[in-house]
Amino acid sequence: MRYAIPKTAAEAASLLMEEAARVLAGGTDLLVQMKSGVRSPEVIVDIKHLPGLRDISREGGGFRIGAAVSGAEMQEDAELVAAWPGVVEGVNLIGSTQIQGRATMAGNLCNGSPAADGVPAQIAAQAVARIAGPEGERDCPVAEIPTGPGKTSLGRGEFIASILLPARPDRSGDAYLRFIPRTEMDIAVAGAAVNLVLAEDGTVKEARVALGAVAPTAILVEEAGAALVGSKLEEPALAALVRACEAACKPIDDKRGTAEFRTHVAGVLAKRAARIAYDRAGGRA
């Protein structure tokens, strides 16, 4: 097994073309998988030392977050937290305080877990990943990265270099909630992210709702967002949101929860997250 610290994206991409190569950012998934024998990589490509990968930079009113930026670093950026509180709170639900010092939003995305806490709010935010690879860079919506449990649309030699969270209009807010049987240190049984933009009168102008742990990947539920548009989160709109979420769920029964439970709770979380996002956007329900 080799451990490599490439200095350029091209060098990293070339290393990742090798057999059984894996990217190391925070390592909070990879090291656990290696210890349990799930993965035995031949080459570990540490991308933390590539230019810009540990930076949060401002871009067109939005935020470009390097793939090796930890959850703790995101939490410390007050402007980022103010603009995208839901995205940051999702990332900050990953693991413990210690894990937060290492775990990254991009790594959480690339691990491909349907239950990843860092992903639904990114999808609701219309985040765009910048992918580096043997052919150079390309941009891809975060929503199109995960393709199934443990699987992504990244090609051979490709890795995520950064993720762009777009600029926020006035009167916007997002939120992420997950359900776990405990209060922390757990994996989502269901998760829901809601991103809202309000009109001046407080009616919802734009709404995006994404769910986690209820399908093979985190999913955008367009009907759920549509249910909120034009409302001030009155009961019928919330009921329509819940129905749309429940209809979109295709969960599994497993040791962490029954399909029935996940479906029900996804709707409850979406409703609650919508209220928080609405409040953050300055709305008065």
Binding site for other proteins (CB under 8 A): 36, 179, 181-187, 189, 255-258, 260-261, 264-265, 268
Measured from the CB atom, the residue of 144 and 254 that comes closer to other proteins is 254
As measured in angstroms, the least distance from the Cβ of 87 to other proteins is: 23
For 233, other C-beta atoms within 10 Å of its C-beta total 22
β-strand pairing of 172-179 with 190-198: antiparallel
Q: For residue 66, which of 98, 15, 106 has the smallest C-alpha distance? A: 106
- Could you give the CA distance from residue 45 to residue 20 in angstroms, rounded to a whole number? 11
Measured from the CB atom, the residue of 36 and 78 that comes closer to other proteins is 36
As measured in angstroms, the least distance from the Cβ of 186 to other proteins is: 7
Q: How far is CA 19 from CA 5, 16, 206, 211, 237, in A?
A: 17, 8, 45, 34, 51
Sole residue written with tokens 């890795």: 159
- Could you give the CA distance from residue 87 to residue 125 in angstroms, rounded to a whole number? 8
Measured from the CB atom, the residue of 39 and 171 that comes closer to other proteins is 39
Identify the three-state secondary structure at position 57. Answer: strand
As measured in angstroms, the least distance from the Cβ of 98 to other proteins is: 13
As measured in angstroms, the least distance from the Cβ of 223 to other proteins is: 21
As measured in angstroms, the least distance from the Cβ of 189 to other proteins is: 8
As measured in angstroms, the least distance from the Cβ of 180 to other proteins is: 9
- Could you give the CA distance from residue 126 to residue 187 in angstroms, rounded to a whole number? 23
Measured from the CB atom, the residue of 133 and 191 that comes closer to other proteins is 191
- Could you give the CA distance from residue 8 to residue 187 in angstroms, rounded to a whole number? 34
Measured from the CB atom, the residue of 37 and 60 that comes closer to other proteins is 37
Measured from the CB atom, the residue of 17 and 239 that comes closer to other proteins is 239
Identify the three-state secondary structure at position 63. Answer: strand
